[in-house]
Amino acid sequence: MSEYISAALRDAIRERAGFQCEYCLLPEAESFFPFESDHIIALKHDGQTDLSNLASSCLECNRLKGTDIASVDSDTGRIVRLFHPRQDRWQDHFELRDGLIVPKTDIGRVTEHLLQLNRPKLVSIRQQLLAKGRYPTGSESQETS
């Protein structure tokens, strides 16, 4: 079990994601910081450092997610796993509405809450990019393989 992610693996992850964050969909070109490789299932939960467990993530989404793999759903009080970019399709769990990421499922709800996908700065960037047609809508984004 290794934390080390080679430059080649990092590049493959970013390219597979279309150079966007797989949680908030922010294009990497719009971020001041280079995107990171998120362990979807953290190493401490025995997640592996391979393509099936790695996702492209902006710095903030990665920080807010940390090593979490689930959260408590405010609607039901139940523990619900987080969105898994390799196993779930973004558009099945979220939709974009006027720059807001609106959850469609309990998985979407806990992920939106924990990762604060509608933090004001991000919504503002998203609205500006949407107006210029430069924000992915989720529908044509990452293919699951």
Footprint on this chain of Zn ion (rule: CB under 5 A): 21, 23-24, 58, 61
| Cβ 112 vs Cβ 118: under 8 Å | yes
CA distances from 79 to 9, 65, 69, 76, 115 (A): 32, 15, 10, 9, 16
Closest CA to 123 of 97, 98, 99: 99
Q: Which is nearer to Zn ion, 5 or 77 (CB)?
A: 5
- Residue number with CB closer to Zn ion (21 or 96): 21
By C-beta, is 21 or 129 nearer to Zn ion?
A: 21
CB of 29 to Zn ion, least distance (A): 13
Quote the least distance from Cβ 90 to Zn ion, whole Å. Answer: 12
